[in-house]
Structure 1
Amino acid sequence: MDIKPLILIVEDDKPIKKFMKVSLEAQGYKCIETEFGNTAIALIFSNNPDIIILDLGLPDIDGLNVIEKVRESTKARIIVVSARGHESEKVEALDSGADDYLTKPFSVAELLARIRVALRHFNGDSNSQNIAQSVFQVKDLKIDFEKRRVTILHEEIHLTPMEYKLIELMSRYAGRVLTHKYIIDEIWGSYFENETQSLRVFMANIRRKIEKDPAQPQYIITEVGVGYRLVDE
């Protein structure tokens, strides 16, 4: 018997919350819900959902605080749904550890598509954990996948969750050019459009942290007009 994915809906707008719950249950998903961020944190730890659909504007704490409190403790994919549509707010949510961002208003079809993408990533992560290498190293850069730790010359480099996801992806394909589209599809899902500028921002931040001279990078190479490559030697 198939185990249905469990989805936690965190939304304080009751009509939208009901709309999402009814729509998702009609597709066979199991749903739990709350309108409060603090309750959401407790539900995440007690119920271990597969997907978290999270509004940012909650009555007790901001949705970003929810992400920051649970991101390191859950493998659930976090889909932010918010009326905040500005580029900076989207980047902030993704950089805090959200996996996807859906701007209100949205259709049922789009929400279901984002959930399918999230579940593919969730299942892929679970299936690959045991076979993936535990450490990647090139020159003075070392990535410990089990500890999610990045070091240069044994000095730990603090990366945000989104920065870590990007460098982890590139390390899995070290030496190969990853196109902008491929990286965006893998990190945010194919339903994100026009995220190239956000990607450039994140890459610039990573370079500032790991490169001696970000203008002359030795680790992350830009292939102009195509994408990025993490060196492998």
Structure 2
Amino acid sequence: MDIYLKNEGYRLLKANDGQEALELLERYQVDLIILDVMMPRMDGIEACMKIRESKNMPIIMLSAKGQDMDKIAGLSIGADDYVTKPFNPLELMARVKSQLRRYHQFSGPQRSDESELEIGDLVINTSTHEVTVDGQEVQMTPREFAILELLASNQGIVLSMERIYQEVWNEPFMESKNTVMVHIRKIREKIEKDTHNPRYIKTVWGIGYKMERL
């Protein structure tokens, strides 16, 4: 991984465990994190949860566990992508580039044509990557923001899970319903007062999701 990343021109910081990674994040500006699940002292799951308490850069999880529930667990605690070992290094490079493009798109310099999407008390600023509910800012990962923006830009229109996945992940769907469902659940936890009776994101059973017109 070190060789491939450096060949692509990336600068790297290496940590031997999750605790060391947290210490590096306090001292350096980091644009993307690749976390192995199995690490000493503090594993990747706990490290991801700690990072997500204050930071929103993309996190790619690596694990030898390939079961759906393991992937769902990784995505549920804030990871943006999950890669199962063994993997092709070129596939990982493609995922790194995709995550960085999206992250820099949303967190780059503020444009003069700043635009906002307002749905009831939910405000989505597509220029600054800021989301507020009832005036309170809500922290979103790049993936979560991309899904929320996609739904908000198509208010009242039902979007299939296949379309959401293909537009946000920029890759073929390949039966990735669980991935979309996990991200929708995380978004609801952040913007909905009652996740069992959501106000903003409605489930259209058998089809997908839509953002209500309010």
What TM-score does the superposition give when structure 1 sets the normalisation length? 0.70
Alignment match, 2:14: 33
- Conserved 8 A contact 1:144-1:150: no
Alignment match, 1:21: 2
Alignment match, 1:142: 122
Alignment match, 2:24: 43
Gaps of 5+ in 1: 1-19
- Percent identity reads 30
Q: 1:125 to 1:77 in 2, by over 3 A?
A: same
**Structure 1 counterpart of 2:122, one-letter code:** K
Question: In 1, Cα distance between the equivalents of 2:142 and 2:105?
Answer: 18
1:100-148 deviation line (CA, Å, top 9, x unaligned): 110000001111110111111112112486555567332xx53576774
Instruction: State which drifts further: 60-69 or 120-129.
Output: 120-129
- Of 70, 79, 86 in structure 1, the residue corresponding to residue 60 of structure 2 is 79
State the shift of 1:204 in Å: 6.0
- Conserved 8 A contact 1:223-1:229: yes
Residue 34 of structure 2 corresponds to residue 53 of structure 1: yes
Residue 174 of structure 2 corresponds to residue 178 of structure 1: no
**Structure 2 counterpart of 1:36, one-letter code:** D
Question: In 1, Cα distance between the equivalents of 2:132 and 2:76?
Answer: 17
Question: In 1, Cα distance between the equivalents of 2:8 and 2:195?
Answer: 51
Gaps of 5+ in 2: none
Question: In 2, Cα distance between the equivalents of 1:220 and 1:68?
Answer: 25
State the shift of 1:185 in Å: 3.7
RMSD (Å), alpha carbons: 3.6
**Structure 1 counterpart of 2:58, one-letter code:** R
**Structure 2 counterpart of 1:181, one-letter code:** E
Q: 1:29 to 1:160 in 2, by over 3 A?
A: closer
- Conserved 8 A contact 1:221-1:228: yes
State the shift of 1:227 in Å: 2.5
- Conserved 8 A contact 1:177-1:227: yes
**Structure 1 counterpart of 2:50, one-letter code:** K
1:170-199 deviation line (CA, Å, top 9, x unaligned): 234323333312322455552674221343
Question: In 2, Cα distance between the equivalents of 1:78 and 1:192?
Answer: 21
Alignment match, 2:98: 117
Question: In 2, Cα distance between the equivalents of 1:132 and 1:92?
Answer: 35
**Structure 2 counterpart of 1:137, one-letter code:** I
What TM-score does the superposition give when structure 2 sets the normalisation length? 0.75
Q: Which has the larger radius of gyration?
A: 1
Equivalent pairs counted in the alignment come to 207
Alignment match, 1:200: 181
Question: In 2, Cα distance between the equivalents of 1:133 and 1:119?
Answer: 22
